[in-house]
Structure 1
Amino acid sequence: MPPGKPLIVVLIVAAQVLALALWFSGTAAGPAMAREAELPAGFLAWLTSAVQAGFVAGTLASAGLGLPDRLDPRRLIAAAALLGAAVNALILTLPVGHWSVVAARALTGATLACVYPPGMKLAAGWADRNDTGLLVGLLVGGVTLGSAGPHLANALGGLDWRVTVAAASAAAVAAAGLILAVRLGPRHAPAPPFRPSHAFRLFRNRGTRLATLGYLGHMWELYAMWAWIGPYLSASFAAWHGTPDAGAGPAAAFATFAVMGSGALGCIGAGLLADRVGRTRVTIWAMAISGTCCVLAGPAFGAHPVLVVALGIIWGVTVVADSAQFSASVTELAEPGLAGTMLTAQTSLGFALTLVTIQAMPWLVARLGWSGGAFAVLAVGPALGCVAMARLRASPMAERLAGGRG
């Protein structure tokens, strides 16, 4: 093991979680803004969607310019975290409910495009043949726990939104300092001469193409589930108790935190398992289970809350457990020096797809209902993802995954 590796991995994970507090802060601040002022119709939805839209635009630009491979990832992450902290802090000077706040959130998302994918490349630079899945899994697990955090805060009564926004900016500044203390890993490869077409090699390389198709199937489900599991649990609790107010209390928020937060354990466990039995196996297993949960969510709606939460936790563990393994696969299958660009392109495509499914869910709920299979539509993604990863497992490219384990 290279000297200082455990500490460096801890620093990378901590820096990523602190910087991505900029993303999580909108989810936590929105309800508090709504309590303080009358917000325009659709404002809270746009407050969340704007970050993802900005992130997609930022990752497209970053991949097209090859920034994660052409620049030192530590300096890129630090600069992006500081810029994101400044843009996020600007919200404190803007009128509550003004559309300029949504614009600031979009710009914040664009800066995070130079934090998350380069962070995965930085972590992969410290991996060896036996722990790539675990290291990237730790990173995604930290992000998963951070994504669940606002639901816990809201369950406990929430915080003043100004405190939330200011704390997120302070965390991002701390992240910039931490990441600059990290050394590049022994597997960090220098980038080849820049060409705009490098991003397209993600699909020209059969191995990274299949891994990305699997990732897209996974992302079709993941963020729509995360975005709507809270309303689903609230409505289910209300249906069980026979009163609409039963789903409005802190119980649903605590349950949402438990369901989403359990995914952090799934990421770490899947990373350990994938490094030992193969990435394709673990991703297929995870998508098969999470896809089944999509289908079962309808029949389980309105059942005893213990049963619904138990199903939710199984879903929460498996829906994100495979996420890091698609990224780890790309780092192992990418051409030397292009892993950062390919990871960024893969991430951009995945998050662009989430904008479709998140926005489609209200339409599905209105027409099918929670008990009628609104969530079941999401099962299409993991089903197709399983096909893609099975094809990757059957190809010679699989010998480059997880030390030859596939």
Structure 2
Amino acid sequence: MKPSKRILPVIVISQFCCTSLWFAGNGVMRDLVINFNLNESAIGHLTSAVQFGFIIGTLIFAILTIADRFSPSKVFLSSALLGALFNLGIIWEGNSFTSILSFRFLTGFFLAGIYPVGMKIASDYFEKGLGKSLGYLVGALVVGTAFPHLLKDMTGNFPWKSVLLITSTLAIAGGVLMSVLVPDGPFRKQSQQLDLSAFFKVFRQRDFRSAAFGYFGHMWELYAFWTFVPLMLQTYLLANPNAAFNIPFLSFLIIGIGGLACIIGGYLAEALGTKRTAFTALLLSCICCLASPLIFSLKAPGFVIAYLLFWGMVVIADSPLFSTLVAQNSRPEIKGTALTIVNCIGFSITIVSIQIVNVIRSLTDTNSIYAVLAIGPVLGLIALLPKRKVTA
């Protein structure tokens, strides 16, 4: 059965609208620091709060196999509504650092019913060309993630709370769109009962483990890079006073261009193979990490921006490809759970890398520290290497 041509665009638009919640706090981080008397280190802690919420959410969703037992579109809608509500909590004038952390945590918790569930919905419609479909879907996530930075630039003359109001409104609209226009897919196989062992069963297959570990290495780098892009630009500006950057707009471009890379990667995977394309993208992002101390030392702002744009592309291009490999190497009745489990572990890793960079940044003000992000890609590349056959 061939899905309607409108299905993929609706899923993509819904994903974009709802994932704009992810970095909504980062888009107004400077305003939060000023209005609530937060420390400069708050950026790492608030980003980690979203990630931690997402981790706990995905863990619960996976253990209870929610995406496989219930209608994914309804799970998506419920999560979008609740995520939007807690995102709005930040505008409360009585907030403290603890309450803001709590609101970001709860927003992240319900993003667990949006991002992996959106991929599950796509995989229920597109068995053929899944890599290309997930390329569009993760591309929407990337642009949605970057969107608050653009909103901040566009609403510079408006109260900072407008960024949060707009992102919550978009999330509600995205949830409603998915619920109304995207029924359960033709390839969906509903799990009939609660299977608490599914969390462990998925790792028994070697090809699944290889894809999952490649994804984990990619995640070590990805969200730390996205989190600190504005600070990379700010640090470079301080070291090069003659340069002139619009940091919010450039942050949007550097993160958002990854959406285009996801789409391109999906098409390349059809021609070159999914695993090979993912390996190449991970290798290129690893090189970007290792080259960062040298690049940031150059007194060439235009070249540095071009390098960051390229890094912004290759750092995410492999993400939909790893998700494709995970979905293809999972049993159909626990596919949603498998995607959620891998997301859960991957986002747990992002907290570690973000906090490590945060600690190193408190000790030095140089951009050379981002070479540490190469650790994940190196380990991911090793996991993706073909296993040598042992001969007697």
Query: Fold-level match, TM-score > 0.5?
Result: yes
The answer to whether the Cα contact below 8 Å between 2:282 and 2:318 also exists between their aligned partners in 1 is yes
In structure 2, what is the equivalent of residue 30 of structure 1? 29
1:136 aligns with 2:134: yes
Which residue identity does 1:139 align to in structure 2?
L
**What is the correspondence of 1:175-190 to structure 2 with a 5 Å cutoff?**
175-180=174-179, 181-190=181-190
Rounded Cα–Cα distance in structure 2 between residues aligned with 1:103 and 1:322: 31
Distance 1:171 1:348 in 2: 25
Residues 80 and 362 of structure 1: is their aligned pair in 2 closer, same or farther, counting only changes over 3 Å?
A: closer
C-alpha separation between the residues in 1 aligned to 2:302 and 2:220?
Answer: 27
Decide whether aligned partners of structure 1 residues 85 and 253 sit closer, same or farther in structure 2, where only a CA change above 3 A counts: closer
SS of the residue corresponding to residue 185 of structure 1 reads coil
Note if contact 1:33-1:97 (Cα within 8 Å) is conserved in structure 2: no
| Structure 2 residue 226 is the aligned partner of structure 1 residue 226 | yes
Q: Distance in 2 between matches of 1:315 and 1:345?
A: 27
- Give CA deviations for 1:198-250 in whole Å, capped at 9, x if unaligned: 011232222211111000010111111111222122222332336xxx5xx65
Q: Structure 2: where are the runs of 5+ without partners?
A: none
> Secondary structure, in 3 states, of the residue corresponding to 2:94?
coil
Q: Report the AA paired with residue 194 of structure 1.
A: L
Residues 91 and 226 of structure 1: CA distance in aligned 2, closer, same or farther (over 3 Å): closer
What is the aligned partner in structure 2 of residue 124 from structure 1? 123
Residue 173 of structure 1 deviates from its aligned partner by 1.7
| 1:277-316 equivalence runs, <5 A | 277-303=272-298, 304-316=300-312
Residue 355 of structure 2 corresponds to 359
Distance 1:47 1:93 in 2: 16
Whether contact under 8 Å (2:208, 2:325) holds in the other structure is yes
Aligned to 1:113: 112
Partners of 1:287 and 1:382 within 8 A in 2: yes
Which one-letter code corresponds to 2:369 in the other structure? A
Deviation of residue 106 (structure 1)? 0.9
Distance 1:334 1:374 in 2: 37
Measured in 2, the distance between the counterparts of 1:290 and 1:196 equals 36
Q: Is the 8 A contact 1:224 1:358 kept in 2?
A: yes
1:346 alignment counterpart: 342
Tell me whether 333-342 or 382-391 shows the greater mean CA deviation.
Answer: 382-391
Q: Secondary structure at the match of 2:106?
A: helix
Aligned partner letter, 1:268:
I
Q: Deviations over 1:46-89 (max 9, x none)?
A: 33221111111111111111111111101111111112222333
Q: How far did 1:156 drift?
A: 4.5
Corresponding residue for residue 9 of structure 1: 8
- Asked if the contact 1:201–1:342 (Cα under 8 Å) also holds between the matched residues in 2, the reply is no
Q: Which moved more, 1:44-53 or 1:11-20?
A: 44-53
1:19-41 CA distance string (max 9 Å, x none):
22222321123322334443356
For the residues of structure 2 that align with 1:216 and 1:177, how far apart are their CA atoms? 32
Of stretches 226-235 and 29-38 in structure 1, the one that deviates more from structure 2 is 29-38
1:169–1:256 distance in 2 versus 1, CA, 3 Å? closer
Cα distance in 2 for partners of 1:336, 1:73 equals: 14
**Cα distance change on mapping 1:65 and 1:263 into 2, 3 Å:** same
Residues 78-114 of structure 1: per-residue CA shift (max 9 Å, x gap): 1111122223334444514452222122111111111
Partner Cα distance (1:128, 1:64) in 2:
25
Give the alignment's TM-score, normalised by structure 2.
Answer: 0.92
2:371 aligns to what? Answer: 376
Q: Out of 205-214 and 97-106, give the one that drifted further.
A: 97-106
Change in CA separation of 1:94 and 1:240 when aligned onto 2, cut-off 3 Å:
closer
1:391 is the counterpart of 2:386 = yes
CA contact (8 A) 2:215 2:380 kept: yes
> Cα–Cα, structure 1 residues 377 and 91, in superposed 2: closer, same or farther, change >3 Å?
closer
Q: Structure 2: which amino acid aligns with 1:61?
A: I
The residue type paired with residue 376 of structure 2 is G
Task: Give the structure-1-normalised TM-score.
Answer: 0.89
Match of 1:308, SS?
helix
Distance in 2 of aligned mates of 1:187 and 1:75 = 17
What does the per-residue CA deviation read over 1:294-314, in whole Å, with 9 as the maximum and x for residues that have no partner? 111101113201111111111
Cα offset, 1:326, TM superposition:
0.8
Which 10-residue stretch deviates more, 28-37 or 172-181?
28-37
Residues 341, 295 of structure 1: alpha-carbon distance in 2 compared, 3 angstrom cutoff: same
Return the alpha-carbon distance in structure 1 between the equivalents of residues 164 and 249 of structure 2.
22
The 10-residue stretch of structure 1 (349-358 or 24-33) with the greater mean CA deviation from structure 2: 24-33
Cα gap change, 1:258/1:41 in structure 2, threshold over 3 Å: closer, same or farther?
closer
Q: Secondary structure at the match of 2:333?
A: coil
CA distance in 2, matches of 1:35, 1:375: 27
Judge conservation of contact 2:33–2:39 (CA < 8 Å) in 1: no
Distance (Å, rounded) in 2 between the aligned partners of 1:184 and 1:62: 18
Write the distance in 2 (CA, Å) between the matches of 1:96 and 1:332: 44
- Which residue of structure 2 aligns with residue 168 of structure 1? 167
Equivalent residue of 1:360, what SS? helix
Task: Tell me which residue corresponds to 1:50.
Answer: 49
Q: Is the 8 A contact 1:233 1:252 kept in 2?
A: yes
Alignment check: 8 A CA contact 2:69 2:191 kept: yes
Residue type at the aligned position of 1:329: L
Query: Do the aligned partners of 1:155 and 1:250 also contact (CA within 8 Å) in 2?
Result: no
Residue of structure 2 equivalent to 1:400: none
Q: Using a 3 Å threshold, how does the CA distance of structure 1 residues 87 and 229 change in structure 2: closer, same or farther? A: closer
Quick check: 111-120 or 373-382, which moved more?
373-382
Letter aligned with residue 341 of structure 1: T
The CA distance in 1 between the partners of 2:63 and 2:77, in whole Å, is: 20
